[in-house]
């Protein structure tokens, strides 16, 4: 055999070792699902990983277990479509103020607190010329279009917390004595 073939043997040896390594290395569930190599070439186990990602926003039903009074109140109000977690889930961990450790006792993973700043209310109620002017709420079984309440935060009692006068859970004014 001519010496000229020797580099080819080296190449073949490298190729074979790559193939052998590949057989050992690549998980057996790495397939082109449905034969769709273009869009479904992946590890099947990854789908399960995403399905088992923990759910964090559990919605009103979760809060209702303890706070049924407030939840029922808000359901009848103009804030009926606003979820508890919209205002009470805190993105700054320091603001956590829920008395019961929800994480240990209920497996609830969000930080819950009370946010009283005007900034929170302004997210919906600051008047912008291009904000939708109406809002649909349901009363009983009928849907009703109402005017969407917006204020100019620079003129509407600046410097005062909204909750001084407004009752968020009934979407109305605070009644005297409460």
Partner 1 sequence: MNLSRRELLKMGLLAVCGTVIPLGALEILKPEAAASLIRPFSEKKRWAFVVDTTKCVGCGMCAKACKLENEIPFDTEVQRTWVERYVQLKDGEVIIDSPHGARYGFTKNDPQGKEINEDDVAKGLFVPKLCNQCEKPSCVQVCPVGATYKTDDGVVLVDRGWCIGCGYCITNCPYLARFFHPITNTADKCTFCYHRIKKGMNTACMDACSFGARKIGLLNDPASEVFKIISTHRVMVLKPEYGNEPQVFYIGLDDIVR
Partner 2 sequence: MEEHLAHGALWTIKEGFTYPNEYIYWTIHIVVYPYITGLVAGAFVLSSMYHVFGKEELKPVAKFSLVFSFALLLMATSPLGLHLTQVFNSVHMIMTPHFYSAIAAFTIVYLTYMAIVLAEIWFVFRPFIVQQAKEKAGLLGLLYKAMTLGSFDVSEKALHTDERIIKILAAVGIPAACFLHGYVGFIFGSVKTVPLWKTPLMPFIFLMSAIISGVAGCIVTYIVGMSLKRNFICGASIRSMCKVLVWFLVAAIVLESIDIIFHAYTAEEFWSIMSELLFQRFAFKMLVVQWLFGMILPLVLLLLPRLTMLRAFISAALVLIGVFQMRWDVVIGGQSMSKSLAGFLTYDMPIIPRSIEALKEGPFPITVLLLMPLFLLFIFNKVLPVFTEVFNEEDCGFTEGLLSSKENAKH
Q: How many separate helices (H) and strands (E) can be counted in the chain?
A: 6, 6
Q: Residue 20 binds what, of partner 2, partner 1, none (CB under 5 to 8 Å, by partner type)?
A: none
Burial (CB < 10 A; 0-12, 13-18, 19+), residue 11, is exposed
Q: Rounded to the nearest whole angstrom, what is the least distance from the CB of residue 73 to partner 2 in the complex?
A: 36
**Cβ-based neighbour number of residue 87 at 10 Å:** 17
Q: Which is nearer to partner 2, 10 or 160 (CB)?
A: 10
Are 147 and 55 spatial neighbours (Cβ–Cβ below 8 Å)?
Answer: no
Draw the binding track, 25-64, toward partner 2 (x: CB under 8 A; -: no contact). Answer: xx---x------xx--x-----------------------
Site membership for partner 2, residue 4 (CB under 8 A): yes
List the one residue from 7, 19, 24, 50 that touches partner 1 (CB under 8 A). Answer: 50
Which H or E run includes 143? strand 142-147
User: Site residues for partner 1, window 125-164 (CB under 8 A)?
Assistant: 126, 128-132, 135-136, 148, 153
How far is 68 from 64, CA to CA, in rounded Å?
4
Site membership for partner 1, residue 91 (CB under 8 A): yes
Residue with tokens 């946010």: 115
Q: Rounded to the nearest whole angstrom, what is the least distance from the CB of residue 104 to partner 2 in the complex?
A: 25
Burial (CB < 10 A; 0-12, 13-18, 19+), residue 84, is buried
Interface residue list for partner 1 (CB under 8 A): 30, 33-43, 46-47, 49-57, 59, 79, 81-83, 85-86, 89, 91-92, 110, 119, 122-124, 126, 128-132, 135-136, 148, 153
Interface residues toward partner 2, by CB under 8 A: 2-4, 6-7, 9-11, 14, 18, 21-22, 25-26, 30, 37-38, 41
């Amino acid at each position: 055999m001519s010496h000229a073939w020797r580099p080819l043997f080296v190449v073949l040896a490298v190729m074979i070792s790559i193939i052998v390594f590949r057989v050992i290395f690549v998980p057996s569930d790495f397939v082109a699902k449905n034969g769709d190599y273009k869009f479904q070439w992946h590890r099947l186990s990854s789908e399960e990983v995403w399905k088992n990602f923990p759910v964090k926003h559990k919605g009103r039903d979760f809060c209702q277990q303890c706070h049924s009074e407030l939840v029922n109140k808000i359901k009848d109000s103009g804030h009926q479509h606003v979820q508890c977690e919209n205002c009470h889930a805190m993105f700054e961990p320091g603001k956590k103020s829920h008395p019961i450790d929800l994480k240990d006792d209920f497996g609830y993973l969000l930080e819950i607190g009370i946010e009283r700043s005007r900034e929170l209310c302004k997210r919906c109620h600051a008047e912008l010329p291009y904000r939708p002017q109406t809002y649909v709420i349901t009363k009983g079984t009928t849907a009703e279009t109402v005017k969407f309440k917006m204020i100019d935060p620079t003129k509407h009692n600046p410097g005062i917390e909204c909750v001084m006068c407004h009752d968020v859970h009934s979407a109305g004014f605070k009644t005297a004595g409460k």
